[in-house]
Structure 1
Amino acid sequence: MSGPEMAREFTALMSVQRGRWRLYVALLNTTARWPERTFNRAVPTLTQRVDALSALGFEPVPGAEWTWTEDSETPDDPASPVVLIAAIRVRSRAEVGA
């Protein structure tokens, strides 16, 4: 499928910023503000992530799973603190229902 019958896909990312987990949807090639939510707890559960995505107007693409990547605060410094980044493919709920 292509064109209007297929919802556009985006990448939702989650990382820790200033001690709080932040979930946001990267809307590349647009001037729109990236929708985001923050969590006041340890790593948000799968249900909390899906609920947050839903509140932002998105849902995981069928069959998509969260993937985790390890990065560092200071590139090229092996002693730098580790930064964990989670990602999942999502689609707009409005486009799916249209």
Structure 2
Amino acid sequence: MSEHDENEDEAFAEETLIQAIENQIEAAEPPAALATLNKLSLVGYERGEILHMMAMVLAHEVRAMLDADRPFDSAAYEQALRALPELPKETA
């Protein structure tokens, strides 16, 4: 795979994760998604920056799920969202 293809794949993955975050915010499910957006907006973060951080948290949980061959851990995901702007250790 060329570097160009890898960059395209990475951009597609990030867009997909951000769309998933947008869907969570719109549905207020999990509740931590909308709460995190509101909290970070109040302290001065721009929406795009917030979505990027939230996407990194989602990617971290998906990676952990795949690495450990386990189901998605909603509680851990919500806890990591609520910890933002501090990112999970492996993502930072």
TM-score normalized by structure 2? Answer: 0.28
Q: Which has the higher strand share?
A: 1
TM-score normalized by structure 1? Answer: 0.27
Q: Which has the higher helix share?
A: 2
Higher relative contact order (CA 8 A, sep 6+): 1
